[in-house]
Amino acid sequence: MTLVERLGARGTLLTHAVLAVVFIALAGVAIYLLDSVNAFLVYQLSSVAYIAIAAAGLTVLTGLNGQLSLGHGALMAIGAYTTALLLKTYTDLNPAIVMVAAVLVTALGSIAVGAGAARLRGPYLAGATLGLAVGLPGVAVRFSGVFGGDAGLNVPALSSPDALSTVPQEVWMAWMWLIPAAITFVLLANLLRTRYGRDFRAIREDEVASALHGIRVARTQVVAFVLSGACAGLAGSLMAYTSSLAAPGSFPLTLSLELLAAIVIGGLGTLPGAVWGALVIVFAPDWIGTLHDVLKLPGPIRDQLPLALFGVVFIAAMLLFPYGIQGGLRRLWLLRAARRSQAASG
Amino acid sequence: MSYFIVLTLTGIAAGMIYAALALALVLIWRATRIVNFAQGALAMTTTYIALAVIRATDSYWLGFAGALIAGLLLGALAERFLVRWVEKGPPLNAVILTLGLFLILEAVVPMIWGAQIRGFPAPFSIAATEVGGVFIALSPFNIFTIAVVLAVMGAMLLLFRFTSLGLRMRATAFAPDIARLLGVRVGRLLTLGWAIATLTGSIAGLLVAPTLLLYPNNMDAVLVYGFTAAVLGGLDSPVGALVGGLGIGLALSYVGGYLGGDLEAIGALVILIGILMVRPQGLFVHSAERRA
């Protein structure tokens, strides 16, 4: 019996919690060692943390519940502006409290967006959230007295405590972000093993059958959307701290589509996939920059190549792996098994 | 009061453009049960093509024709080579596919033509006119816009009501399997449906560009307005698209005029959620059958 199996017998929560603590310890050491090699890389890892949190929320909604949101970038904006406005008034507020507030406000905003949630499904939810992504930055511009207009609001940087003043700022931030990321993933992983998680999946497969089994389809879909929105709010709060800014230009429609790209790349509906996808989203522009150094691509092509590639990934994933990467792998495996049994009998 | 009239007239002109994009969305929804989120990006692309033709030939009308032809071709290619493979799959896959097309178009266009904001010529003046000393808020180009969209709507009506081709297209949308048994080439008609829809969208792109200017994501907000208009009209009804477009055009004109132009897009969202809560089947669909 392996250690993980023995823990599993004690309960899911404990297993996931232990795995999370191990992950935090290993990643923390890795970040510290990495900093002497490449400080900017550590800074980018902070971005990976919040993109992964937002992508995890989206993958629960889209991959497991079958609802598509094109507005998670806008929900991140709600979290970011909550953070900025709170810190404007209470400069020394504890980041944990700020983040909880950002999560709560964004969850409330998600309820408002999903007010017609019983009706907002399928293409309707996608269209409404598209409207959110396109429209919300305009609110920040219109009420510039509160939200700072196009320039946005500044957010004070997260500083390390005096006792650890030798720790570089970017390392401290990356360390700190491991905690909300780990908490989010542990909670989501546990949730997916409860009745709600099973209900999410049942509704994705067949709404009518789910309703016949006593699942309240509309209510469960609202829960999934609000939960997913709360993750986006947390991600937005971390993003505001990381970039020291909450501005409308940071939350374009393409941010929402990049989050969608992250979960499509990682495989719809898998939490580890959200992390892989976030790594790709954050580092793809760098890789293309490297490509640019080799191939001497003209500027406009280099700038636009990541988005074009994400578009190609969307199409390729849907044409080649219509049931996601996970489903594609399973099909390959079944194909091989079928061939093997054929060879055995023939 | 006169400000209200100005907003009403400009709202009608803008609403006709939203109606054209809504009609494009409705045509594709009827034929394939897909909301084409690439509709705006396709229209933006054909408008860039029109601008290239206008620069090369110095003729607005050749550019206009070029955009329409490009729309036909792009729509047909998109259906035949991309959408065809996901039509039978889960609806989510089709939506993600159209988003992929959206991203590719919005990335490839600035690769070719650059991302800077460009002006786009209008065949008629876009300044408000005075006729016999009476100030009219509508510009000649607004009147041209209204005429073009009404002509497109009329042409669609003639096509679907009075031609054999239109009948076959309606049969394909209504019951593809039975239509196929009766000898209708369903696949070809779906390709044609996408081509006609993209042509309609390209007209919206041409009409919006002189006032909104041309840049790679200039149609994003228009897509939201067109979608809202289509949902208002029931997503299934071309007449609904026209009325929905006018309704959204007027509503957003008042929102922009009295509350601030930056709030137009969020205003459309509020309207959309309101419609979906009060009358989710739209204003122009009689049957309540909607399970998507």
Q: Return the pLDDT at A112.
A: 82
Q: Hey, which of A8-12, A79-83, A293-297 has the most confident mean pLDDT?
A: A79-83
Q: Please indicate whether, in this complex, the C-beta atoms of B96 and A68 are within 8 angstroms of each other.
A: yes
How much is the average pLDDT of A29-56? 87
How much is the average pLDDT of A42-65? 91
Tell me the percentage of chain B whose pLDDT exceeds 70: 93
How much is the average pLDDT of A213-226? 87
The residues near A254 (Cβ < 8 Å, ≥ 6 apart) are A73, A307, B103
Q: How many CA atoms lie within 13 A of A63 on its CB side?
A: 28
Name the pLDDT band for A83 (thresholds 50, 70, 90): very high
**For residue range A274-321, what is the model confidence (pLDDT) as tens digits?**
888 899 889 888 887 787 777 777 777 777 888 888 889 888 888 887
Q: Return the pLDDT at A14.
A: 79
Q: Return the pLDDT at A57.
A: 94
Q: Return the pLDDT at A336.
A: 78
| Residue A68 touches partner B, C-beta closer than 8 Å | yes
Q: Return the pLDDT at B288.
A: 45
Name the pLDDT band for B219 (thresholds 50, 70, 90): very high
Q: Return the pLDDT at B291.
A: 43
Report chain A's C-alpha Rg in angstroms: 21
Pick from B44, B216, B212: which is nearest to A304 by CA?
B216
Q: What residues form DSSP beta bridges with B135? A: B130
Q: Return the pLDDT at B101.
A: 95
DSSP H/E element including B136: strand B134-136
How much is the average pLDDT of A39-67? 89
Name the pLDDT band for A322 (thresholds 50, 70, 90): low
Higher-pLDDT residue of A64 and B130 is A64
Tell me the CA distances in angstroms from B101 to A100, B74, B78, B221, one per residue in order.
37, 11, 8, 17
Per-domain boundaries in chain B: 2-278
Q: Of the given ranges (A164-173, A222-231, B154-163), which has the lowest mean pLDDT?
A: A164-173
Please give, rounded to a whole number of angstroms, the shortest distance from the CA of A311 to a CA of chain B: 4
Q: Of the given ranges (A13-17, B129-133, B247-251), which has the lowest mean pLDDT?
A: B129-133
Q: What residues form DSSP beta bridges with B136? A: B129
The CATH number given to whatever domain includes residue A137 is 1.10.3470
Q: What residue in B sits closest to A322 (Cα-Cα)?
A: B93
Name the pLDDT band for A98 (thresholds 50, 70, 90): very high
How much is the average pLDDT of B1-24? 89
pLDDT at residue B30 is higher than 70: yes
Q: Return the pLDDT at A7.
A: 60
How much is the average pLDDT of A180-195? 90
Q: Return the pLDDT at B133.
A: 62
Higher-pLDDT residue of A147 and B279 is A147
Q: Which residues of A touch B221 (CB under 8 A)?
A: 134-135
Report chain B's C-alpha Rg in angstroms: 19
Task: State phi, psi for B48 to the nearest 5 degrees.
Answer: -60, -40
Higher-pLDDT residue of A265 and A256 is A256
Q: Return the pLDDT at A121.
A: 64
How much is the average pLDDT of B250-268? 88
Q: Of the given ranges (A1-5, A53-57, A67-71, A221-225), which has the lowest mean pLDDT?
A: A1-5
Name the pLDDT band for B62 (thresholds 50, 70, 90): very high
Q: What residue in B sits closest to A299 (Cα-Cα)?
A: B111
Q: Return the pLDDT at B290.
A: 45
pLDDT at residue B206 is higher than 50: yes
Q: Of the given ranges (A13-22, A52-61, B64-73, B178-187), which has the lowest mean pLDDT?
A: A13-22
Q: Which residues of B touch A141 (CB under 8 A)?
A: 262
Q: Which residues of A touch B260 (CB under 8 A)?
A: 142
Closest CB to A134: pick one of B101, B103, B221.
B221
Q: Please indicate whether, in this complex, the C-beta atoms of B99 and A116 are within 8 angstroms of each other.
A: no
Name the pLDDT band for B26 (thresholds 50, 70, 90): very high
Helices (H), B114-237: 140-162, 164-174, 176-181, 186-212, 220-232
Domain limits for position A152 = 3-345
Q: Return the pLDDT at A325.
A: 56
pLDDT at residue A273 is higher than 70: yes
Q: Return the pLDDT at B214.
A: 93
Name the pLDDT band for B80 (thresholds 50, 70, 90): very high
Q: Return the pLDDT at A80.
A: 95
Q: What's chain B's average pLDDT?
A: 87
Map tokens 């070029």 to a residue.
B66
Integer Cα distance of A131 and A151 in angstroms: 22
Higher-pLDDT residue of B86 and A76 is A76
CATH class of the region B2-278: mainly alpha
Q: Please indicate whether, in this complex, the C-beta atoms of A253 and B276 are within 8 angstroms of each other.
A: no
Q: Please indicate whether, in this complex, the C-beta atoms of A127 and B35 are within 8 angstroms of each other.
A: yes
Q: Return the pLDDT at B72.
A: 95
Instruction: Name residues 174-193 of chain A within 8 A of B (Cβ).
Output: none
Domain total in chain A: 1
Instruction: Name residues 274-303 of chain A within 8 A of B (Cβ).
Output: 300-301, 303
Q: Return the pLDDT at B21.
A: 95
pLDDT at residue B195 is higher than 90: yes
Task: State phi, psi for A119 to the nearest 5 degrees.
Answer: -95, -25
pTM to 2 decimals? 0.86
Q: Return the pLDDT at B57.
A: 93
Q: What value, to the nearest 5°, has the Cα angle with vertex B4 and ends B3 and B6?
A: 65
Q: Return the pLDDT at A119.
A: 62
